[in-house]
């Protein structure tokens, strides 16, 4: 399945894929075939596929998978799609330089996130695990239940554990879906913590 990549973060998968593979050999032909099979599965899948899933479905080794992914990336470099790795696995998506065209022709796809939602999500992402009162303390305003509901509905946050204080409030964490939505594989790929003014400029 091909997706549009909105975030501007560097693609870790592209670093991984910049490898040299055997040329003009039977092994190269085999890897080319594996790379085509990977491409088919990624097109057909409604969700990213992990390296483990690809190895299982194609009965290949880690080395074969890595080399085949490299060949797939080389082939995609001549087209409009790119191979992208997220927290949930690999997926195909439209290259960033076509985002302006897509947004112009399909403006309904461009989701505008409110300032309050971005501020809340940022506090959770950078300071997790946090409670609702922690978020309110950082933002300096009461947190709307609607904001949290939107984040839960998107699958970007979950409740996991409770803080050992009066009332044992739930602790909020981000999810793999959050990382996928912003083109990340790990939380340590988040950019430096933004201030509230920067977040406001994003809304």
What would the pLDDT profile of 150-187 be if each residue is shown by its tens digit? 999 999 999 999 998 888 999 999 999 999 888 888 89
Q: Which of 56, 74, 104 is the last residue of a domain?
A: 104
Residues 9 and 82 in one domain: yes
Q: How far apart are CA 68 and CA 99, in angstroms?
A: 27
| Residue 166 φ/ψ, nearest 5 degrees | -55, 125
pTM of the complete model: 0.59
Residue 50 has pLDDT above 50, yes or no: yes
Closest to 116 in 3D by CA, of 8, 7, 196: 196
Pick 103 or 24 by higher pLDDT. Answer: 103
pLDDT of residue 145 exceeding 60, the answer is yes
Among 77, 104, 131, the domain-final residue is 104
Across the range 21-34, mean pLDDT stands at 76
Choose the final residue of a domain: 104, 138, 163.
104
- Cis ω before 78 (30° cut-off from 0): no
User: What's the structural domain count of the chain?
Assistant: 2
CATH number at residue 175: 1.10.10.10
Mean pLDDT over residues 61-72, rounded? 93
pLDDT of residue 203: 40
Q: What is the domain range of residue 185?
A: 111-202
């Amino acid at each position: 399945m091909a997706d549009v990549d909105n975030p501007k973060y560097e693609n870790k998968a592209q670093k991984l894929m910049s490898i040299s593979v055997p040329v003009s050999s039977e092994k190269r032909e085999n890897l080319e075939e594996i790379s085509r099979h990977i491409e088919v599965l990624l097109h057909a899948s409604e969700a990213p596929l992990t390296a483990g899933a690809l190895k299982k479905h194609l009965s290949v080794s880690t080395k074969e998978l890595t080399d085949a992914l490299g060949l797939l990336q080389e082939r995609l470099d001549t087209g409009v799609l790119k191979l992208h790795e997220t927290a949930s696995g690999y997926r195909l998506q439209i290259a960033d330089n076509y985002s302006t065209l897509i947004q112009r022709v399909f403006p309904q796809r461009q989701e505008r996130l409110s300032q309050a939602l971005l501020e809340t999500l940022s506090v959770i992402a950078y300071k997790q695990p946090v409670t609702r009162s922690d978020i309110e303390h950082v933002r300096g305003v009461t947190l709307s239940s609607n904001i949290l509901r939107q984040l839960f509905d998107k699958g970007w946050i979950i409740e996991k554990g409770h803080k050992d204080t009066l009332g044992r409030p739930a602790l909020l964490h981000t999810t793999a879906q959050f990382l996928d939505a912003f083109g990340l594989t790990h939380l340590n790929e988040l950019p430096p913590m933004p201030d509230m003014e920067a977040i406001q400029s994003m809304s």
